[in-house]
Amino acid sequence: MKLYKDFNELFSYLPLSALVRGRILCCHGGLSPRLNSIADLKNIRVPFCDPPMNSLEQDLLWADPKYELKGFEFNKLREVSVQFGEDVVVKLCKKLNLDLIVRAHQVMQNGYGFFANRKLVTIFSAPRYLPEMNNRGAVMRISSQMVISFLILNPTDKTSAGAENFTNTFRDDTTCYTCVE
């Protein structure tokens, strides 16, 4: 139990977002009506264990994109945080001078999926997260030239699991995307 508590304390000090070369915003959940500047992200105080309700911290952890939505609405699916539309992504990228927003937190059948005209990407790195879905996982790479590519993690089963087959579960997605500098 002590180790569990020690890890929870460690996690309470970790940042909720990262900015890659000032152009790519990374977070677990998504966007917030309370996010107006990069300074808002830098001003998040740590440590904390549970994010305050209706806060930037909560949205960075739990918000989700939603097609056919304009603006923000309460996230009824999770019963916490917000959902946001493509218009929010486009406006925030322009306002904060971002090329891309990277998030996780939702299963993607092919390991990753784009939203808002490729201004937001959801990465999910756990293949076969739900056995009935048989989803792939993905890892995103960003080169020093800001070229983005994906490594796809194929799901395994009892016949393909194990150390001898480990490298066979990976494949490069040959599609690359370049962020404008």
Domain boundaries, the chain: 17-178
Q: What's residue 167's pLDDT?
A: 62
Please give the CATH number for the structural domain made up of 17-178.
Answer: 3.60.21.10
Q: What's residue 181's pLDDT?
A: 47
Q: Is the peptide bond before 131 cis (omega within 30 degrees of 0)?
A: no
Q: To which H or E segment does residue 19 belong?
A: strand 17-20
Beta-bridged to residue 98, according to DSSP, are: none
pLDDT of residue 41 exceeding 70 = yes
Q: What's residue 133's pLDDT?
A: 84
pTM higher than the cut 0.75 = yes
The confidence band for 125, taking pLDDT boundaries of 50, 70 and 90, is: very high
Q: Which of 85, 88, 34 is nearest to 61 (CA)?
A: 34
Q: What's residue 156's pLDDT?
A: 80
Over range 119-139, report the average pLDDT: 92
Q: What's residue 10's pLDDT?
A: 94
pLDDT higher at 160 or 50: 50
pLDDT of residue 58 exceeding 90 = yes
